[in-house]
Amino acid sequence: MARQLKTANNYFDDVMVGDFFRTGEHVVTESDIQRFCELSGDYSPQHVSEEAAIKLGFGGRIAHGCLILSLGTGLVFDLDGNMDKVVAFYGMDRVRFTKPVRIGDAIHMEAEIIELIDKGERGGVIKRRDSFKNQRGEVVAAIEKATLNAKRPA
């Protein structure tokens, strides 16, 4: 039976397919977008110009898709702060950006474990489906993400 987890910081052998968790939220700010522009070098008009974003059909400035995915990492760390059971980020698949995220949107993430891949005595891959939602409950981005997690010590 699926359980609600309190954290993503779990031993591989302590989770089951169907387990899930939800993060707190982050309100996207002008500063978030500006700092991400500076960090990534992506100053595309839909992120920096209200007028250009309207002309492009977005109805106003939007956040970078990769900013939203990055915020998800921070939201997961906010659950626990200690990620000592997560050995490494293993990969991602099926990334989709389904709705624009605007300044002032409150984003949270809901995650469900969809697959467990044993990698031997040291650990295993936990694959999960992450859905990023805004304050209206609309999915704004989705991704399948995998982490390599340690196994519980003998």
Domains of the chain: 12-150 (3.10.129.10)
Residue 1 pLDDT: 81
Q: Which residues of the chain have pLDDT under 50?
A: none
What is the percentage of the chain residues whose pLDDT exceeds 70?
100
Averaged confidence pLDDT in the chain: 95
Q: How confident is the model over 72-82, as pLDDT tens digits?
A: 988 988 877 77
Q: Contact 61/126 with Cβ under 8 angstroms?
A: no
Residue 78 pLDDT: 83
Residue 79 pLDDT: 79
Q: How confident is the model over 79-115, as pLDDT tens digits?
A: 777 788 999 999 999 999 999 999 999 999 999 999 9
Q: In what order do the strands lie in the sheet with 139-150?
A: 20-27, 106-118, 123-133, 139-150, 86-97
